[in-house]
Amino acid sequence: MNLTLSIRDIEAALSEIPIFDVHTHLVGGKLAARGLHDILLYHMVISDLYAAGCPSGARLTQFPGFPGRREAHERLREAVPYLPFIRNTSGWWGVRLILADLYGWREPVTEDNWQELDDLIRERSDDRAWQRSILDRLHIRRTGTEIARRGNGEDDDRLQYALEWGFFTRCQWGEFDTALYELERCWGKTPASPSPIGSGSRPPVDRAVRALGDVHEALRHYVEAIPYDQIIATATHLSTDIDYRPVSDVEMEAALGRRAEAGPAERDIYASYIHEAFLSALEARGKNIAFQFSFGAEPLPYETGSRLNQRTIAQLGESIARHPGLRFQCFLASRHANQSLCTLAREMPNLSLVGFWWHNFFPDIIRQAMSERLDMLPASKQIAFFSDAYTVEWSYAKAVLVRKLLSGVLAERIGRGQYSLEDALSIARTVLYESPQLLLRMIPITL
């Protein structure tokens, strides 16, 4: 069989298979880009531009706010001169797909024409029928996003929700009491968006954690505030710098007394204690939701770098084994750890792997991870796609890219006799459409 032709045929067939986009940051009522900045300055492309010499590496104003026209235009003026240097990247491939396929724009973006393109995108930013047509074009039957981004429920028929709120086990640049601060910022509050990565100066909190009783009271509030009937998952991050282990009440109480001079040892105690207490509480109350966690991306001044050690993977296995009543799902950002995570998922009934996160969302890494997972895991233990998009335009670009890559991986197996064409398409349907329903209880819309 001609491999080139088979890839083309498989890609055409995959384009008709319905899929779920299980993890995004889409905003209800505002699904589309609000201007060129939402496409060109998506955070992964900002990193490309920063690496190419663009002076700014930080994200623009983040939710619940949105960049105003002045901020967006200042950053675009700064970034456009560096576009020729990133035309080789897969991030720029995504930009090109969006501009050409969705906006009919096929010419280079230059200092002379970017404002024209910005105006074109802004014209469609409130066209809800057009936004939904993009999801329909992709055959996306449901999209997962943060419940804090639900808006007034305008897109409840298209969205399902996860809770991203307190990130007790995510390290922040230069901090050692992040777990306590995350608990404090949620204490007495209703669910909201998480702290941004590289948050810098921390907003003040209403109530401080000073003693072990405060930890228990604040965590009790957090667990009781979770809207269990409205979400399919909680989502957080597990940092590889933390030494995860069971911590006694006595050890935690003593470490709280050292908060003012906390270092790595105290950081590990705070995070481990709160994490285990939260998992135990969630296991008791949240059996119908998944504990999703990202893994393998650690803080830098603006964003993160891919880093994960074997000690943390071993400790993850121990933690999953301690909580057999919870369903764990991993978003992995480390190429080298994919095999290790596959071996854990093979032996642990309550662990599954989901898509390709952040530093893994590059074509060669995606192909490798897909190939390893297809060979090592049942199709029912893996979900092949989530976009991590902030607008439907980036959902489009990433879905197109993943389908192209999955077509190639399946064609290789057909070519060597491992799969028949019928097997390949059935497996693709499972990992794209059926597994999200099984593992996340996602519900397809009726068209």
CATH code for the domain of 231: 3.20.20.140
* Cβ 23 vs Cβ 162: under 8 Å: yes
Q: Is the pLDDT of residue 310 over 70?
A: yes
For residue 376, tell me if it sits in a domain: yes
Q: What is the pTM of this model?
A: 0.94
Which residues span the domain enclosing 101? Answer: 34-125
Is the domain of 280 the same as that of 379?
A: yes
For residue 306, tell me if it sits in a domain: yes
For residue 7, tell me if it sits in a domain: no
For residues 253 and 228, give the distance between their C-alpha atoms in angstroms, rounded to a whole number.
30
Residue where a domain stops, chosen among 85, 103, 125: 125
Residue where a domain stops, chosen among 85, 102, 125: 125
For residues 282 and 51, give the distance between their C-alpha atoms in angstroms, rounded to a whole number.
40
Cβ burial, residue 192 (10 Å; 0-12/13-18/19+): middle
Q: What is the mean pLDDT of the segment spanning 30-49?
A: 97
Residue where a domain stops, chosen among 125, 142, 159: 125
Is the domain of 282 the same as that of 315?
A: yes
Q: Is the pLDDT of residue 214 over 80?
A: yes
- Reference 234, options 195, 200, 194; nearest CA is 194
Q: Is the pLDDT of residue 62 over 90?
A: no
Is the domain of 283 the same as that of 353?
A: yes
Question: Which residues make Cβ contacts (< 8 Å) with residue 103, sequence separation at least 6?
Answer: 117, 120, 121, 124
Is the domain of 350 the same as that of 406?
A: yes
For residue 29, tell me if it sits in a domain: no
For residue 22, tell me if it sits in a domain: no
Is the domain of 137 the same as that of 249?
A: yes
Is the domain of 245 the same as that of 283?
A: yes
Total domains, the chain: 2
Is the domain of 154 the same as that of 114?
A: no
Q: Distance between the two ends of the chain, CA-based, in angstroms?
A: 36
Q: Is the pLDDT of residue 2 over 80?
A: no
* Cβ 180 vs Cβ 259: under 8 Å: yes
Residues 177-196 pLDDT 10s: 999 999 999 999 999 999 88
Quickly state the pLDDT bin for 97 (edges 50, 70, 90). Answer: very high
- Reference 403, options 425, 377, 381; nearest CA is 425
For residue 231, tell me if it sits in a domain: yes
For residue 8, tell me if it sits in a domain: no
* Cβ 293 vs Cβ 329: under 8 Å: yes
Work out whether strand 304-306 and strand 297-299 pair parallel, antiparallel, or are unpaired: antiparallel
Q: Is the pLDDT of residue 200 over 70?
A: no
Is the domain of 420 the same as that of 405?
A: yes
Is the domain of 363 the same as that of 214?
A: yes
pLDDT of residue 420: 93
Question: Which residues make Cβ contacts (< 8 Å) with residue 214, sequence separation at least 6?
Answer: 207, 208
Q: Is the pLDDT of residue 447 over 70?
A: no
Which H or E run contains 328?
strand 327-332
Is the domain of 145 the same as that of 108?
A: no
Is the domain of 272 the same as that of 298?
A: yes
Is the domain of 72 the same as that of 134?
A: no
For residue 216, tell me if it sits in a domain: yes
